[in-house]
Amino acid sequence: MLKSIILKTGLFGAGRRPLFRGAACLFLLRVIQLGSALAGTYFLARSMGKNEFGEYNMVLNAVGILTIFTLSGFNNSLMQAVARGYEGTFRAGVPLAFAFSFIGSVILFGMSAYYFVVEQTQMGWSLMVAALLFPFAHGLVQWKSLVTGRARFDQLLVHDGASSILTYGLIILSVHWYPGDYVVPVTLTMFVPALYNVGLTLLNLRTIPREAPVEHQNLRYGLKTTLYSGLGAIGSNVDRVLLFFLLSPAALAIFVAAGRIPDLLSGAIQDISAVLAPRLSKHPAYTKRLDRIFSVLSLAYGAAIVVFAFSALPKAVTLLFGDNYAEAIPYAQALACAVAMGSLANLRFRYIRSKIDARGFRDITLVSSIVRLFAFLVLVPPFGLLGAVVATFVYRLALMVVTQVVIKRHYAGLA
């Protein structure tokens, strides 16, 4: 039924098949990543106490925040450039991103030294390993943008799928060999992607001629938007870091359990937008028809999420994390509803990101990130985990409003 509705709206126009194939590849990739991640989480949560599980996630969130130093704005701008035929932009962007990523390593080394001084050795070693692997695990991810710009989602399926299976397969083995220890899982989480990134980056550098055209305007756009995408990276991880320091590692563990499945559900709508991204980069205007397509997709997906939240989600949380995390269920249901509420804004934001529009990207990222940070700082200290959930709704609402304002102000075709 959904397919017939989409086709009647004229979704994608001519050449729908490549996009549906791309969607199928990303759907299968998401299934692989979902299955691998859930299996890994199942064993991790049971092999550690709540404090250790919270500390493990704290390290990963600290790494996530520090991706601001990987020139992440290049990833989106590179995809656009490749889609328009400027593959030399890959050669120009990779060395810059890799060099800047060492700033993140320096900060992680400093954090590691602090935890060694206060005699929290597991945190110290985990951060030390993260510092060593950070440039390779997060500073060399541009090959994904190259593949996406070429609309070769089958390659993304093969490489990212294999990486996920290998990473979580090894993590499951490690928790049997070293129960309660999270240094090895952190190492594997960073090492396997780093290995793939190095190999695929070198391979793609060899296949792109040195004389391949470079879209210099796009490089400048990538540099401009790096600051704003960095704020987005901070916003995506700051809630859990604040819970760790303002409440406790155990509180962070509960919030991670609550947010694990909603995060995966949010990733699915991002996959849809990723399939559309190469074509959107060449789309002349944001039209009412395009907005209608986005509305149909988001409404259908949002409704499915809400039904899932109040039917299967409670059992999924206890199955995944154990009865010890039953208190996370109402938070998980609320966070899933927040994902449903924000799906349309994510699709609209993808359109804006597909253009060389630093202004729109800046406005959306700055406003939503500032609102998110402010809401967490105001609501978490007095209300704890409930405050964190409410702050998530405030952030989603802010993202909806500011995205709609930017679309109406700066893009033709939507009165």
The residue with greater pLDDT, 265 or 311, is 311
- Mean pLDDT: which of 17-21, 40-44, 275-279 is highest? 40-44
Tell me which residue of 251, 257, 235, 239 sits closest to 333, measured CA to CA: 257
* Cα separations in angstroms, 345 against 46, 80, 263, 297, 340: 36, 20, 16, 12, 10
Instruction: Give the model's pLDDT for residue 353.
Output: 67
Mean pLDDT for the stretch of residues 95-103: 91
Residue written as token pair 């205007």: 285
| Total residues belonging to the chain | 415
pLDDT in tens, 137-178: 999 998 888 888 777 778 888 888 899 999 999 999 998 888
List Cβ neighbours of 269 (8 Å cut-off, separation of 6 or more). 297, 298, 301, 339, 343, 346, 347
pLDDT in tens, 377-414: 899 888 888 998 999 999 999 888 888 888 777 665 54
In this structure, of 227-241, 315-329, 373-387, the range with the lowest mean pLDDT score is 227-241
Mean pLDDT for the stretch of residues 58-77: 85
The residue with greater pLDDT, 159 or 228, is 159
Asked if residue 188 lies in contact with residue 163, where contact means CB atoms within 8 angstroms, the answer is no
List Cβ neighbours of 209 (8 Å cut-off, separation of 6 or more). 88
Specify the pTM: 0.77
**Tokens representing 295?**
């509305």
Instruction: Give the model's pLDDT for residue 278.
Output: 56
* Phi, psi for 267 (deg, rounded to 5): -65, -30
